[in-house]
Amino acid sequence: MGLPKEVQNLSDLFSSLPSIGPKLSNRLALFLSVNGKSLASKLSHSLDEVVKSIRLCSNCSNITDTDFCEICTDSSRDRSIVIVVEDSLDLYNLEQTGEYKGMYQVLGGLISPINGIGPRDIKIDQLLNRLQDGEIKEIILALNPNLEGDSTGLYIKNEIDKLGLDIKLTRLAKGIPAGSDIEFASSQTLIDSFNSRVSF
Amino acid sequence: MGLPKEVQNLSDLFSSLPSIGPKLSNRLALFLSVNGKSLASKLSHSLDEVVKSIRLCSNCSNITDTDFCEICTDSSRDRSIVIVVEDSLDLYNLEQTGEYKGMYQVLGGLISPINGIGPRDIKIDQLLNRLQDGEIKEIILALNPNLEGDSTGLYIKNEIDKLGLDIKLTRLAKGIPAGSDIEFASSQTLIDSFNSRVSF
């Protein structure tokens, strides 16, 4: 015999979420069925709210519950500079630094042929369209420093070059993370930080 | 600026679930808001089903969607033997061995003064009531081998002794787990397996 079908169904749905394996999904389903029923009701309601209200910003594809996101509607921000990120969580992590007061472009993914994601599947066209009116002067790529991030950056660079606009294109520096230990840094990290060494 | 309030609320609810930290809860909330909306709707519906249908078996406190669970209503099972477990997941793990055809008692927790859980907060009374008609001849404690499991077992032993019934009380053997390596076994595990050595 197995779990009651309602609990099994809930567990199966949890296990199709990222980073949740079969043991944890069973644990969550059981918890919500026995001791967490009031939490289960709240969670159900919250999921309905998200399905109903959340969409992508018409300008930058950040998640929002209005037509344009909080950043795009903030008139105090610098519209001449755009940071390109993979998803809204990267955007919020950058926002938490409090250092940056420009705009964003959320791609909603990275080019990844192995996963069947091509340039048309992410919001590169939206970025290129935003360049047409000449307001944007600098684009900063803040994509993960791996194969997919690098290929996506390269593709964006080629497309911007084709437009023949005077736009500065940069990417975040690669190097040793603050608070880490050189002893444990990978070879590639050390090579990156050596090649990008700055005067002291 | 932060996440839209609907997404933040969903993330907060996820992070109040066991084993889900703030980073994973943000990731889940974002996934369900953007790419996983159809999954979000299914999850919401499934949670409602669980809240509506799941209750505890009137006999053994296993989770069920009927009055009595599948095990208690199975007339082919041996009613003279009861395994005592902490929760229904332990029960299903034991069921998956396919070796055991008796009954269960789900406690719904373990005695834990530090967490404010006393003997009256778990289903020990339900177990003791089940002993009254004399049908149960053996009780096997299958509680986690730690302080809480041991104290709960001891409490149950004392209560059963008080009843003065002729019931055999055993617990699962402690020892070296199958497929593991003696090199990495803890001292306590080695002591347990030494003390419980069997003829070869």
Within 8 A of B24 by CB-CB distance, chain A residues are 19
Task: Give me the residue from B31, B36, B49 closest to A6, CB to CB.
Answer: B49
φ and ψ at B48, to 5 degrees?
A: -60, -40
Report d(CA A14, CA A28) in Å as an integer.
8
Q: How confident is the model at residue B200 (pLDDT cuts 50, 70, 90)?
A: confident
Residue B62 reports pLDDT greater than 80? yes
- Amino acid A193 reads S
In DSSP terms, B170 is beta-bridged to B140
In DSSP terms, A169 is beta-bridged to A139
Task: Give me the residue from A6, A42, A74 closest to B54, CB to CB.
Answer: A6
Query: pLDDT (tens digit, 9 = 90+) per residue, B7-45?
Result: 999 999 999 999 999 999 999 999 999 989 999 999 999
Within 8 A of B43 by CB-CB distance, chain A residues are 10, 13-14, 43-44, 47
**CATH numeric code, B76-171:** 3.40.1360.10
Cα distance from B36 to chain A (closest Cα, Å)? 9
Residue B199 reports pLDDT greater than 90? no
Mean per-residue pLDDT, B72-89: 96
pLDDT at position B198 is: 85
Residue B1 reports pLDDT greater than 80? no
Report d(CA A92, CA A106) in Å as an integer.
11
Cα distance from B91 to chain A (closest Cα, Å)? 10
Q: Copy the structure tokens of residue A144.
A: 């993960």
Do residue A7 and residue B63 have CB atoms under 8 angstroms apart?
yes
pLDDT at position A54 is: 96
Low pLDDT (below 50) residues in chain A: none
pLDDT at position B138 is: 96
pLDDT at position B135 is: 94
pLDDT at position A21 is: 93
The domain locations on chain A are 5-53, 76-171
Q: Which residue reads 């066991």 in tokens?
A: B18
Query: pLDDT (tens digit, 9 = 90+) per residue, B128-176?
Result: 999 999 999 999 999 998 999 999 999 999 999 999 998 999 999 989 8
**CATH numeric code, A5-53:** 1.10.8.420
In DSSP terms, B55 is beta-bridged to B64
Report d(CA A1, CA A200) in Å as an integer.
68
Query: Are the C-beta atoms of residues A180 and A148 closer than 8 Å to each other?
Result: no
pLDDT at position B2 is: 81
Exposed e or buried b per residue across B76-103, where buried means at least 16 C-beta atoms within 10 angstroms of its C-beta: ebeeebbbbbbbbbbbbebbeeeebebb
Do residue A50 and residue B10 have CB atoms under 8 angstroms apart?
yes
pLDDT at position B139 is: 96
Q: Is A37 helix (H, G, I), strand (E, B) or coil?
A: helix
Query: pLDDT (tens digit, 9 = 90+) per residue, B104-128?
Result: 999 999 999 999 999 999 999 999 9
Task: Give me the residue from B5, B13, B34 closest to A43, CB to CB.
Answer: B13
Within 8 A of B89 by CB-CB distance, chain A residues are 26-27, 30
Task: Give me the residue from B6, B48, B63 closest to A54, CB to CB.
Answer: B6
Query: Are the C-beta atoms of residues B111 and B148 closer than 8 Å to each other?
Result: yes
pLDDT at position A2 is: 81
Q: Is B88 helix (H, G, I), strand (E, B) or coil?
A: helix
